[in-house]
Amino acid sequence: MLDRLGDYHYELPPELIANRPPERRDDSRMLVLHRKSGEIEHRMFRNFPTLLKHGDRVVLNNSRVIKARLLSESPAIEIFLLESLGEAKWKCLTRPGRKLQPGVRIPIAGTVAEVLGVLPEGERIIQFETPPDLEKHGHMPLPPYFKRGADEADDERYQTVYAQAPGSIAAPTAGLHFTPEILATIPHTFVTLHVGAGTFLPVKTEDIREHTMHEEVYSISPDSAAAINAATRVFAIGTTAARVLESQPPSPILPHDGRTRIFIRPPYEFKHTGALLTNFHLPGSTLLMLVCAMAGYENTLRAYQEAIRERYRFFSYGDCMAILD
């Protein structure tokens, strides 16, 4: 049934975790998996346009990563912005949480933060006296497996070249490989899904059917809906774009602003996504489960073992995998 967390485990040599991006965005390698035949090809991402067929539409997530980490030295506090609630009010994670109980006020990021309340899962509702200047005071929220702080290079490279709508606290990483030159050669359209805290959180239940996804905000414009409906095959760039598409009812896709908790895992049948470009994901993650649903469980694990043998680079700054028919 593939409902056990252990079904989605694999051993990854730590040296294959990409801690820095390649010199050029499109210098990454691309493993191409043909899910019907199981055939695997090894290519470079710069050859991505050759994977497209007449009538394809490439769908990308244009959410922009915000500098969501706010740090204070005295007292030593970190506030991690999760979701704007309007009027300089945010849902946040805090560290250490015990210091930030309701009523506490602290100076941080050029303003003053007051804790209004604590939610059941530990998040804080924080009101800022004035909106924090994230570009000046914030830090890019790199994944914890980088085991380093963000630097100026990350301000550019942990962001897609087409990022437009601020709101994510993690990059839609499959899009990091694209350059303006490649985008100019392919038929594409954008949707928006603001990547939330769930992307950092492990699945903690051995029975994955008991796992609850965090809610994320998404948007499909009228122009994007029309372009997607006109396609003969929709090629989703990343699991976030696929989750937007699969959160919709069967065709046609309609313009919509909404929220989704969709959890895609085997034996899910995709309604809209015909092909997928994605990075290599953490063992036991919901992202890996989505890939298994798309490519097939055995195909996916075999492709991951092949990528490890061939010394592909894994995770956010790593190489990518294209899943085709």
Query: Domains along the chain?
Result: 5-65+143-324 (3.40.1780.10), 69-137 (2.40.10.240)
Span 179-207, average pLDDT: 92
Measured in whole angstroms, the distance separating CA 231 from the mean position of its chain's CA atoms is 24
Give the amino acid at 296: G
Q: Which residues of 225-310 form beta strands (DSSP E)?
A: 233-237, 256-260, 275-279
Contact 58, 47 (CB under 8 A): no
Mean pLDDT: which of 50-59, 82-91, 99-108, 118-127 is highest?
Answer: 50-59
Give the pLDDT confidence score for residue 97 in this predicted structure: 86
Taking the model in full, what pTM does it have? 0.94
Three-state secondary structure string covering 71-128: EEECCEEEEEEEEEEECCEEEEEEECHHHCCCCCEEEECCEEEEEEEECCCCCEEEEE
Distance CA 12, CA 18 (A): 12
Give the pLDDT confidence score for residue 98 in this predicted structure: 84
Contact 325, 52 (CB under 8 A): no
Distance CA 35, CA 303 (A): 10
